Homo-oligomer: A and B are copies of this chain.
Amino acid sequence: MASGGRPTSKDVAQEAGVSQSTVSLVLGGKWEGRVSPATARCVRDAAARLGYRPNLAARNLRLGMTRTVLLMVPTLTAPFFGPVYTGAARVAARHGFGVVVSTWPDDAVRSADSPFAAPDEAIDGILASSVAVEALGEFRDTPAVMLDSGPADGAPCGPVPTVDFGVADGMAAIAAHLAALGHLRYGHVAAGVDQWTFRARADALAAAVSALPGGHLTRATCAIEVASARDAAGRLLDAPDPPTVLVCDDDLIAAGAYKAARARGLDIPADLSVTGFDDVLLATALEPELTTVRLPAEELGAQGMALLLDLLSGGSPEPRVLPGELVVRDSTAPPARRNRNRPT
């Protein structure tokens, strides 16, 4: 082997007494019918002996691809996206792909200096999670899979494969659970973000409540942030004839709803029921623990990457929907009997 550095395919060839081509064929898995089994085994042994690992830069250069995909997310600091990344990276690694992350629209990761300072790493494909289709922007021509962006939001240039959560079903499950408990007056603390996933939640809740005899729904909008959610929930709670349950678009919003309730002396769930969405860590850290819908975030990343890899190798993968799962905990109970709005 060349003194010092890692072994190359040439070293393996020499060790095995064959040519570089043969090594490449064998280790690339394209040898059958072209190299004798004995030679193949011999090459593999030599590679193992030397601890050979192919040089990705060389292969990428030769193949004209980078084996790198871009994961585009709104933010990495929200608890939801860590698992998405993990799932995507796990599947990617299994196929020799790396994952780089970019945030959109607030792109803190890439920079805009000279080409050399920010070499806009060439990528083979894009996984865009929970972002509008415009996020693809300059990457319009790059193979992409949209995650959590809704089946309708296909890119202008033909259908883009999608993986979505069954958020409508999830919200319907929450509504059914609440209806079974006897709730009629619903407050929806909605994320004020124009994304498919939130529109779908709103529509599903509205549909369920209007199908409920005597059902009534009010709505307040907020940022996905505790203080803003607390204020929005407060507005709902301070209205005449307030809701007996606050259905929140996100676990973090539910945390804000808890605060609004407590500030008004309302016990959860005795005086007020609250539900979340996502089932992040926070859901069990709250008190009482939050009834919510679990969204399999890591699975979203994993399946999305699987679809993208399929797309990159010429397939035309079908859209998928990942069901959410209702997790009933301690924040929901039957509505109180008219003793609302008087501090205990």
Contact = CB atoms under 8 A, between A and B. Distances in A.
B285 A255 contact: yes
Contact of A117 (B82, B83, B95, B116): B95
Interface residues of A, number: 66
A287 to B, nearest CB: 6
B259 A56 contact: no
Interface string A51-74: 011111110110010101000000
A221 interface: no
Contacts of A29: 116
A122 interface: yes
Contacts of A206: none
Given A57-B61, A61-B61, A98 B82 contact: no
A208 interface: no
Interface stretch (A107-115, A182-190, A310-318): A107-115
A96 B118 CA distance: 5
A117 B91 CA distance: 11
Nearest to A94: B111
A86 B109 contact: yes
A223 interface: no
Given A85-B76, A109-B93, A54 B285 contact: no
Integer count of this chain's copies in the complex: 2
A66 B68 CA distance: 13
B86 A122 contact: no
A57 B57 contact: yes
Contacts of A113: 94
A108 B90 contact: yes
B55 A122 contact: yes
A90 B109 contact: yes
A82 B81 contact: yes
Contacts of A60: 57
A99 interface: yes
A101 to B, nearest CB: 6
A255 B256 CA distance: 16
A281 interface: yes
A44 to B, nearest CB: 9
A252 B286 CA distance: 10
Q: Which of A77, A113, A226, A285 has the most CB of B within 10 A?
A: A285
A322 interface: no
A68 B98 contact: yes
A270 interface: no
A89 B118 contact: no
B262 A27 contact: no
Interface string A21-50: 000000111000000000000000001000
Given A93-B110, A96-B119, 6 more contacts: A53-B122, A57-B122, A76-B85, A90-B108, A99-B100, A226-B285
15 contacts: A6-B122, A28-B116, A29-B116, A53-B120, A57-B57, A76-B85, A77-B82, A77-B83, A86-B103, A86-B109, A89-B109, A93-B111, A94-B113, A96-B116, A98-B100
Q: Which 5 A-B pairs have the closest CB atoms?
A: A57-B60, A255-B285, A57-B61, A96-B119, A76-B82
